Amino acid sequence: MFKELDPILHSQLRLAVMSLLISVKEADFIFIREKTNSTAGNLSVQVQKLKEAGYIDVIKEFKDNYPNTSCKITKKGILAFEDYVKALQQYLQVKQP
């Protein structure tokens, strides 16, 4: 029986954000935008969806008098990501002859 792929993660930009955040402790919004080659508006929407799912924490603070947003993955996010990768591997194993 195949596990269904998590619809929150199974989208290009959200998966890219989660893959970045799984490898680091914390990352700025600008860093994520640069690495994912996305627009600020688009990224904002997807970050909000990941936050609502409880997969990431969004921290808003001031750095040198400028507002700064940073993100970090939550424990729930790590588990969801691991499940997603396991499910992917299941699919790929079946497809391979």
Partner 1 sequence: MSTEKQLTEQESLQLIQQMINKAKGSYHDTGIGPILWGSIITFCSLVTFAEIQFRFNMPFDVWLLTLFAIVPQVFISIREGKMRKVLNYEEVALGYIWTCFGISIFLLIHINTNLVPQLNTIFTDYNTLKGPHEITFDYASYSTAFFLLLFGIPSILTGAITKFTPMLYGGILCWVCCVISVYTGVKTDLLLMALSAMAMWLIPGIILRRKYLNKRECSKN
Q: Considering the rule CB under 8 A, would residue 30 count as an interface residue with partner 1?
A: yes
Q: Is 4 in the site for partner 1 (CB under 8 A)?
A: no
Which residues have CB under 8 Å from 23's CB, separation 6+?
Answer: none
Contact flag: residue 20 with partner 1 (CB under 8 A): yes
Contact flag: residue 92 with partner 1 (CB under 8 A)? yes
Taking CB under 8 A as the criterion, the residue among 3, 52, 76, 91 binding partner 1 is 91
Query: Ramachandran region of residue 73, left (φ > 0), alpha (ψ -120 to 50) or beta?
Result: beta
86 binds partner 1 (CB under 8 A): no
Which residue number, 34 or 54, has a Cβ lying nearer to partner 1?
34
- Pair of tokens at residue 8: 């929150």
Residues 31, 33: Cα–Cα separation, whole Å: 5
